[in-house]
Chain A
C-alpha cells in the first residue's frame, strides 16, 4: 500500500537521519546462521519464443572466497557489460554446469533444454539452458519443469498459461510548466475481467535504458474486480522520453513470488518489517517458473 509505505519510509528516513547525525550507526561483525546453497531457477516462457532458463546457485549472504563445491566458477564480466547485478571484484555467481533441464509440454511431451550459457544481446539477460524450437501455447494449458544436478538437487515446477488482458489506453499529461522544468506523468488503464481473482504486474520502461524500469507495480483485483483500473505516475518524465507500458496478467504463484521478493528486499534496513521467506513457484529450490502473457504500448512524450 502506497500510503503505508510512504509513512514508514518517512519515519525510517527520519530515524536514519537522526542516527547518522548522532553517529549512531557503526559497522559490526555478524556471524550469520549457516546456509546451504540451493539451485535457483529462473524461467519465463512466452508463446512463439524458444524457451530459455537460467540456473545458478544461491550463496551465503556475506560472500566468502571459496565455497568448496568443486564446480567451475564463472566470474561474470565487468560493469562495462551486463552482469547479474551483484557487481564484480570478488563477488561471483555460481553457475553449475552439471544441471540437466527438461520441459514438459501441455501434451505431455518432455523436451530437454541444452546447457549453452549466453547473454541475450537485446535484453542483456544471462541464460544457461536453451531449447530448440519456439513454443506454442493456449490459455489454460500447463507446462512442467524438471531440473536436476549430479549432487542430488531436484527442482520441479508447473505453471499455466494466463489469459490475455489488453491495455485499454496509455496517455500522458504535462505538469503545465514550460522549459527545462517540464515533466510528464504517464497513465496506463486496463479493464479487469469480472468474477475471477486476477493478478497484474505493470512494468514501465524508458527507451533510454530498457533494462532499468521506471516503474514496477503489482496489484490484485480484490478491490476493483470487473472494473477499469488505472496506474498513474507522478510528473517525472521528460519531453522526448519514449515510454513503454507492459501489462502482465499473472498466475497467483508468480504474483506471490514477486510479493515475497519485494518483501524480502525491503526488510533489509527496516526495523518495522517482518522478513518474509521467498515463496518460490518451484519446489526443491528457489526461483520462478512461469509463463508471460502481456500487452505492451509505447508512446513518445512531447
Chain B
C-alpha cells in the first residue's frame, strides 16, 4: 500500500467513525420512490423541505431518503418537465411515501435541454468531472445518418475526445478507449461499438440516462483507469402498453413497453417491462446490387454488413420492501463477403449480457441491491478459400455478483458500502485452419481464467453548511489461474466548499487499478482486439488523478460556469512491440511493452438549461503523453522518448445550441473544433531488392511515432425536430431532420501516399500525398412515433 493509500484510509476511517454531534433534535426518515404517471422511475427528482433548507435528489431508481425533523413540515417534490407536488407530513416516526408526478405540458414547451441534475444541484454536489445526459438531450441533437448516439453526444462534453471522424470511441482525459468502464444497468459492456465505432451499442429508445465520470470516481466503481460510463435502461410504463419506434436512413427501431401484473383500480401495476430492437439495412441494398451485377465481368461484390441489438428490461414490486429487476442485452455485427464462389468470409462480433437485481429496503435508512449477472463479448472470423478454411475466435465471459448497501447514518452521513466478485474466462484466441484433404489441420486454443473482486465503503459527509466531503476507499484484487495475485487500495476523495450560495470550490483525488488489458496492435480500436488478463509479465495498470475547480452560478442562476484543472498519471500502460503477432500466439505476454502515461488540462464549461434557448459551450486545453523505455530486448517506442498518443488534442471547442420555437418546432446546432490529430507518416524510404524471386520493394521508414499533425477538425451539424399533429389522442409523431457536416468540410480521416505514374510510359514519376475524408455533408430524416 502506498503512503497515499494509508493517508486516505486514515481519513476515511476518521470520517466513518467520527462522533455525530449537532443533530440533537429528533429526526425521522422520510423515504420512498418518485415515478411519473406512466410508472417509470424518475431519477434526479428533487425532494425538499424548503422552510428548513433541506433537500435531496432521487437516485438512479427514483428513490429518495430525507431526514426530516419531527413535527409538521411541507415537502415539495419537483422534476424538470413535471408538475411539482407539495404534501404535508407530521412525522413521529420514519415513514415511506411514494409519489407520482404528472408531466407539465406547458413547461415542456420551454425546457428543452435538461440533464438529470439542475444547475443548482451541480453547484452543491461534491462530485466533479461528471457529465449527466438525459436521453431527451441526445435525441434532440443532430446525428450522423439520423442515428441518435449517446456516446457521440458525450463527445460534445469537455475533456472527452472522439476516436476520429464519426467514431463513438471515447478518450477521456488522456486515457485510451479500453480504459472506460462501460456499464449497462451495472453490467460491464466490453465493446460498446458497432461498425468500428461509427455507432454505439445503445439504442436510444431503451436508455433512460447516462452518467460519465471523468474524475472523482465513486468507490463502487473499479476495474478501469479513465472513466465510468454508467448507462441505465428505461423501465417500461406501469400504466399502459406503448409502442415507440423510428424509421431512419440506415436503421429502424421498435420498442414495446407495458405493465406487468394485476392492477388494482386506479393503481399502477406492480411491474413493467420494455423490449427494444434495432437493425440496420445496408445489407438489403448491397445484396440487391450484388445480385444485379452477378454476371458482370470484373465486378467486385460489396460485402454484406448489418448490426442489430435487442434490449429487454422488466421490474416487479414484490412488496413494500422488495423490488426485482431483470435486464438483458444482445447485440451482433455481421459482416459477410462472398466473391462468387471461390472466397467466402464471415465476421461476427457482439456483446451479450443478462442481470437480475433484487432491491430490498431493510429500513427507511438502509437499502440493499444484490445483483447477479453474466456478460460476454465474442468475435469470430471465418473464411473459406477454395479448399482451405480459416477460423479465429476470441471471447471474454464474466459471471458477476455484487451487493451494494446504502445507509443513512444520520443527516450528516450517507454511507455506501458493498462488494463485487467476478469470474473471468479470457478466450484469448482460438485458431483453426484446415484443408479439405486434411493436409493442414491446426487447432490452437489459448484460454485463461481469473477472479476479480472488490470491497468498498464511502461516506458522503456533510461537515458543515459550507463543507461537504466524499470519503471512499476500495480494496480490489485479482487472481489468475497461474496463481498470481494482485491487488491494492484505491482511495477516492472529493470535497466541496461553498464560498457563497452561487460559488463552490471543489477538489478530488482518485486511484484506480485495471486488471484486464485490451491487446491491440493497431492505431484504432477494432472488434478483433483481444482482452488479456494480468499475469506474471503483464502487471495491472494503475492511474491516479487530482483535479480541482469551481462551479459558479451566473445571471440569477440561468448559467452555470464550471472550470476544472486536472493532472493524471498512469503506470504499466500497455502497448506492443513493433510487428507483434497477437493472434494465436501462446506467448502473447512476451509481445507487450509497458510504459508511463500522463495527461493534464483545463476544462471550461458554460451551461444554460432554462428558457427557449438552451445549450452549452465547452472548451478544453489539454496535453497527453506516453513514454515506453527500452525493454525486452527492444528500444521501446520511439527509442524511449516521449510521444503523443493518437488522441492527443491541444484545443477542443464544443458549442451546442437548442432553440424551441414553439411546441412543435425545435432547432438544434452543434459545432465542434479540435486541433490537429497526431499521426505517423514516413519520412524516408529505401529500396529492398529482396532474395532472388522476391519482389523489389520501396520500404518506408517511419520516424518517431505521431510526429505529423493532420489538419484541424471542425464541423457544424444542424437539426430540426418537427412534431406532427397526433393522428389520435395520446399518440406522438415527429420528423427529425439532421444535416451532418453542414458546410461540407473535408476533415482528414487519414493521409496516405500514392504512386503517380507518367501517363505516356506508365512509369513511376513520383509520389503524392492523398488526404481521405470520411463523411461529406449528410442530410437525413427520421420518422419517430409513439402510440
Binding site for B on A (CB under 8 A): 1-4, 6-8, 10-11, 13-16, 18-19, 22-30, 32-35, 37-38, 40, 42, 44, 54, 56-63, 78-79, 83-91, 93, 122-123, 125-126, 173, 175, 185, 187, 189, 203, 205, 210-213, 216, 220, 222-224, 228-230, 232, 234-235, 244, 246, 248, 256, 259-261, 263-265, 267-279, 286-288, 292
- Is B770 close to A, CB under 8 A? yes
- Is B440 close to A, CB under 8 A? yes
- Pairwise interchain contact A61-B753, C-beta atoms closer than 8 A: yes
Q: Which residue of A lies closest to B390 (CB)?
A: A3
Given the complex, which residues of B lie within 8 Å of A264, measured CB to CB?
682, 699-702
Q: How far is the CA of A91 from the CA of B364 in the complex (A)?
A: 82
- Pairwise interchain contact B579-A256, C-beta atoms closer than 8 A: yes
State whether A223 and B442 are in contact (beta carbons under 8 Å apart), knowing that A86-B687, A205-B693, A276-B702 are contacts in the complex.
Answer: yes
- Pairwise interchain contact A61-B435, C-beta atoms closer than 8 A: no
State whether A30 and B686 are in contact (beta carbons under 8 Å apart), knowing that A3-B383, A278-B701 are contacts in the complex.
Answer: no
Within the complex, the shortest CB–CB distance from B577 to chain A, in Å, comes to 9
- Report which of B335, B382, B435, B578 forms a contact with A277, defined as CB distance below 8 A: B578
- Report which of B587, B686, B695 forms a contact with A40, defined as CB distance below 8 A: B686
- Is B683 close to A, CB under 8 A? yes
- Pairwise interchain contact B342-A235, C-beta atoms closer than 8 A: yes
- Which 10 pairs between the two chains have the least Cβ-Cβ distance? A87-B764, A85-B696, A269-B752, A271-B750, A58-B686, A230-B440, A35-B683, A276-B578, A123-B692, A35-B684
- Report which of B335, B686, B776 forms a contact with A56, defined as CB distance below 8 A: B686
Q: Which residue of B lies closest to A8 (CB)?
A: B526
- Pairwise interchain contact A27-B684, C-beta atoms closer than 8 A: no
- Is B21 close to A, CB under 8 A? no
Interface size grouping (class) on chain B: 35 or more
Ordered by A's residue number, 21 sampled pairs between the chains whose C-beta atoms are within 8 Å are A10-B337, A24-B774, A38-B684, A40-B686, A59-B686, A61-B683, A88-B764, A187-B435, A203-B691, A205-B693, A222-B581, A223-B444, A232-B386, A232-B388, A264-B682, A265-B699, A267-B680, A269-B750, A270-B752, A271-B772, A275-B705
- Is B54 close to A, CB under 8 A? no
- Pairwise interchain contact A224-B442, C-beta atoms closer than 8 A: yes
Q: How far is the CA of A266 from the CA of B223 in the complex (A)?
A: 35
Give 9 new A-B contacts, CB below 8 A, not counting A125-B692, A259-B581, A264-B682. Answer: A4-B381, A7-B335, A26-B773, A60-B683, A62-B753, A85-B696, A88-B763, A187-B439, A232-B435
- Report which of A23, A87, A213, A288 forms a contact with B693, defined as CB distance below 8 A: A213
- Is B387 close to A, CB under 8 A? yes
Given the complex, which residues of B lie within 8 Å of A222, measured CB to CB?
581, 584-587
Q: How far is the CA of A286 from the CA of B769 in the complex (A)?
A: 25
Q: How far is the CA of A135 from the CA of B659 in the complex (A)?
A: 83
- Pairwise interchain contact A232-B440, C-beta atoms closer than 8 A: yes
Q: Which residue of B lies closest to A277 (CB)?
A: B578
Given the complex, which residues of A lie within 8 Å of B767, measured CB to CB?
61-63
- Is B521 close to A, CB under 8 A? yes
- Is B500 close to A, CB under 8 A? no
- Pairwise interchain contact A216-B390, C-beta atoms closer than 8 A: no
- Pairwise interchain contact B578-A4, C-beta atoms closer than 8 A: no
Given the complex, which residues of B lie within 8 Å of A216, measured CB to CB?
694-695
Given the complex, which residues of B lie within 8 Å of A248, measured CB to CB?
691
- Report which of A2, A19, A86, A260 forms a contact with B774, defined as CB distance below 8 A: A19
- Pairwise interchain contact B693-A203, C-beta atoms closer than 8 A: yes
- Pairwise interchain contact B698-A86, C-beta atoms closer than 8 A: yes
Given the complex, which residues of B lie within 8 Å of A292, measured CB to CB?
691
- Report which of B697, B761, B769 forms a contact with A261, defined as CB distance below 8 A: B697
Given the complex, which residues of B lie within 8 Å of A213, measured CB to CB?
693-695
Given the complex, which residues of B lie within 8 Å of A277, measured CB to CB?
578, 701-702
- Pairwise interchain contact B523-A271, C-beta atoms closer than 8 A: yes
